[in-house]
Amino acid sequence: MSNDVSKDLKWWETATIYQVYPRSYQDSNDDGIGDLKGITSRLEYIAGLGVDAVWISPFFKSPQKDFGYDVADYCDINPEYGTFADFDALIAKAHALGLRLMIDIVPAHCSDQHVWFQESRQSRDNPKADWFHWVDPKPDGSAPTNWLSFFGGRAWSWEPRRQQYYLHNFLPSQPNLNHANEAVREAMMDVARFWFDRGVDGFRLDAVHTINGDCAPFEDNPVNPDFEVGPLPQDQQPFFRQLHDAAQLNQPSIQKFSEAIRQVADTYDDRFLMGEVDGDNDDAVKVSQTFTQAGRLHATYNFDLLEWDGLTVDGMKQAISHAVDAFNGTGRLSFAFSNHDVPRSATRQLARLSVSEADQQALQLLLLKLEISLIGSTCIYQGEELALQDIDDIPLDRMQDPWGIEFAPAFAGRDTCRTPMVWEKAQPNGGFSNANDTWLPVAERHLERAALDEVKRPESIYNKLAEFLRWRKSQPAMMQANQMGPISGGPREIIFERISEAQTLRCCFDFDTLTASFEEI
């Protein structure tokens, strides 16, 4: 069959997207921190894999208390990552290699160092006084509600200059923007235009479901009488604020944001908007449906396969079926097994599926083939193509993740999946950096699968995945339609058909033999 498969779908409806965590990808100036020049130097490696796009996590100006997800200036680059000249060189090279470039935008909150918040906190009557959620204390001076943040502690912090509390879903240094204010929304549209004008092909909209606008009345959450302590920090907080219920999701301000940024995107050619949303205790599929209604976001980043403790085969079947039932025939979902916020799939799925350490690489390749064979787009996190596992022995004094530091040692946080990429076993720090010390320790166990060494090994996962991606691009069932048949198979199998007018392809994933097979029928 010809490798030239024409299709009418937009690029993002079938894209394989490679996520780069810039702080940990490649250091170009020997300060122990990855940067934009470093990413540029490794673009041939990414392009050689055969992916369609690169998504880069935040590199904006930031005090780095949450490593870029606390933005001090949405239209500037943090000096440790480089300059605009570095970014322009990166995007030019990516496009020359046939790669689209996506970046993270953080619309729900910013840093307390952002000029918007610095002005807002000064008084109750300044021009940006209502750009954030300011609420008077209770009569006894305590916080307006019992809401707790994702990162532990109250979701409210006191500002003595205003004699009011402000809301933050995450760190106190990450105040929530008030999207009920039209000026806030328009300021974020200016941010979108700024990066689109620079040539960016799409945004992954971080935690877009946590946008707040129409929050009043501010009322306490009742304690859950059936509460049981779970593995994640929010599972240890019995009156954690549920931000994702129907009333919250249907706030006019949230979907006005989705509609406004779609209008901006539509004035450019072929730009993609992918929203990070999560239903938590609610139905994540319904959340995705809300955000991808006509005139809103193109797709949502689906969390159903990102379960912190991993999924059984049956759990994967249920998650895939639930999502596909709602979105079959569309490209409105983007699936992932790993990212910078959860343990690597090679770690959590290994234990969950009772696979031996010796078969770990085969399992990782099988999981990659499975997610790439689903409808919609796929996000691969750096290192998945090498079957890298988490590092669970980072000393407390070397931890960087504020979430992990807050709940250590019971909770290891996200540093375990963020350690630096290794490129060549024989080089200092695995080729990541020539610095004496790196921002997180380089994982010794990763050196045996250093990226450039694996490229040279014909049987590596990198090369097998690249071969699969080349084959996939020749399959009309995967490239010309986003249509799937129902999920079937035995207790350790996942079987479904991908269907287009030109082809029906039966896809079989066997978790006993750890092999995938494809048959045209």
The pLDDT assigned to 241 comes to 54
**453 catalytic, yes or no?**
no
3-state SS track over 385-417? HHCCCCCCCCCHHHCCCHHHHHHCCCCCCCHHH
The pLDDT assigned to 240 comes to 58
In the chain, where the domains are located: 11-109+182-481
pLDDT at 244 > cutoff 50: no
CA 281 from chain center: how many Å? 19
Q: Mean of the pLDDT values across residues 32-36?
A: 98
Q: Tokens 């010796």 map to which residue?
A: 358
Rounded CA separation 291/33 (Å):
35
For residue 367, report the phi and psi dihedrals to the nearest 5 degrees: -65, -40
Q: Mean of the pLDDT values across residues 223-250?
A: 60
Query: Could you tell me which of 215, 241, 90 has the C-alpha nearest to residue 152?
Result: 241
Q: Under a CB-based contact definition with an 8 Å cutoff, are residues 468 and 462 in contact?
A: no
pLDDT at 66 > cutoff 80: yes
The per-residue pLDDT for range 291-331, each reduced to its tens digit, is 999 999 999 998 889 998 899 999 999 999 999 999 999 99
- Comparing 62-76, 234-248, 399-413, the range with the smallest average pLDDT is 234-248
Rounded CA separation 72/55 (Å):
21
For residue 156, report the phi and psi dihedrals to the nearest 5 degrees: -130, 140
The pLDDT assigned to 278 comes to 76
Longest dimension (CA), the chain: 74
**Quick one: pLDDT band at residue 4, thresholds 50, 70, 90?**
very low
**Quick one: pLDDT band at residue 243, thresholds 50, 70, 90?**
very low
Q: Which helix (H) or strand (E) holds 320?
A: helix 313-327
Q: Under a CB-based contact definition with an 8 Å cutoff, are residues 12 and 377 in contact?
A: yes
Residue 140's CB: how many other CB atoms inside 10 A? Answer: 5
The per-residue pLDDT for range 442-467, each reduced to its tens digit, is 999 999 999 999 999 999 999 999 99
**Catalytic pick from 206, 278, 307, 390?**
206
What lies within 8 Å, CB to CB, of 358 at 6+ separation is: none
What lies within 8 Å, CB to CB, of 302 at 6+ separation is: 284, 288, 323, 333, 334, 335, 336, 376
Burial degree of 113 (CB within 10 A; 0-12, 13-18, 19+)? middle
Rounded CA separation 92/472 (Å):
26
**86 catalytic, yes or no?**
no
The per-residue pLDDT for range 320-332, each reduced to its tens digit, is 999 999 999 999 9
Query: Could you tell me which of 70, 53, 429 has the C-alpha nearest to residue 270?
Result: 53
Q: Under a CB-based contact definition with an 8 Å cutoff, are residues 415 and 401 in contact?
A: yes
CA 76 from chain center: how many Å? 21
Rounded CA separation 196/202 (Å):
8
Rounded CA separation 156/167 (Å):
5
The pLDDT assigned to 279 comes to 54
What lies within 8 Å, CB to CB, of 86 at 6+ separation is: 35, 36, 37, 40, 77
Q: Which residues of 384-420 are buried (b: 16+ CB within 10 A; e: fewer)?
A: bbbbbbbbeebeeeebbbbbbeebeeebbbbbbbbbb
Q: Is the dihedral of CA 459, 464, 465, 466 positive or negative?
A: positive
pLDDT at 3 > cutoff 60: no
Q: Where are the alpha helices (DSSP H) in 24-143?
A: 36-41, 43-49, 84-96, 115-120
DSSP three-state, residue 233: helix
**Catalytic pick from 112, 276, 385, 454?**
276
DSSP three-state, residue 12: helix
Residue 239's CB: how many other CB atoms inside 10 A? Answer: 15
Q: Mean of the pLDDT values across residues 110-131?
A: 98
DSSP three-state, residue 318: helix
The per-residue pLDDT for range 337-384, each reduced to its tens digit, is 999 999 999 999 998 999 999 999 999 999 999 999 999 999 999 999
The CATH topology of domain 11-109+182-481 is TIM Barrel (3.20.20)
Query: Could you tell me which of 31, 81, 90, 38 has the C-alpha nearest to residue 60?
Result: 81
Residue 177 forms beta bridges with which residues? 132
| Per-position DSSP letters for 243-281, written without gaps between them | TTSHHHHT-HHHHHHHHHHHHHHTTSSS-EEEEE---TT
Q: Under a CB-based contact definition with an 8 Å cutoff, are residues 367 and 492 in contact?
A: no
